[in-house]
Amino acid sequence: MKSKLMFALGAALMIAAVSTWNYGPVSAAEHGEMKATPLTTGDVSLATAHVALMAAMKKAEEIGTKMDIAIVDAGGNLKTFARMDGAWIGSIDISIKKARTARMFDMPTGAIGELSQPGGPLFNIEHSNGGLITFPGGVPLKNADGEVIGAIGVSGSTVEDDHTVAQAGADAIQ
């Protein structure tokens, strides 16, 4: 009984404290001429993701390889995925992680790999964020204005082929 009373009293005090906080706009003078600007973040549509996916699959067929191709949205969430017939099952997870890695850092995964070598400034970064992929095959997707709207990750062949196929998907939507 006493603990319920203490909980109720604590909750009432929190409500009273929150109700007195000032959530109003802050003047520029209060923050040295800083002005708030609205955040506008684009996202890859399903139709756009499909265009990138189809272009990547076409490139994979042209170079004679079977790929797992993942596309993530601006938040790094899986938007669409294809596993070409005969593509390695083990590359499913790799393609998704390549796409997520490219989106999380808005750069190709190969560029992150260059920075993550022993002695490099990002050494061991692949152990962060639940596991990253730091070799080629992940590329950010950008809209016509150059804004990152998602990413594509490809796995199933050499890293050079993976990057070529991913880049073909990214190029198809710009």
pLDDT of 33 reads: 65
CB atoms within 10 A of CB 125: 17
pLDDT of 131 reads: 86
The residue count for the chain: 174
Map tokens 């790094």 to a residue. Answer: 76
- Whether 144 maps to a domain, the answer reads yes
- Whether 10 maps to a domain, the answer reads no
- Whether 60 maps to a domain, the answer reads yes
Q: What is the pLDDT of residues 14-62, one digit of tens each?
A: 444 444 444 455 554 555 566 666 656 689 999 999 999 999 999 999 9
- Whether 35 maps to a domain, the answer reads no
pLDDT of 141 reads: 97
CB atoms within 10 A of CB 55: 20
Q: Which residues of the chain have pLDDT under 70?
A: 1-41
- Whether 1 maps to a domain, the answer reads no
pLDDT of 2 reads: 52
- Quote the domain boundaries for residue 159: 46-171
- Whether 77 maps to a domain, the answer reads yes
Q: What is the CATH number of the domain that holds 76?
A: 3.30.450.150
pLDDT of 127 reads: 87
The total of structural domains in the chain comes to 1
CA gap 152, 154 in Å, rounded: 7
State pTM to two decimals: 0.77
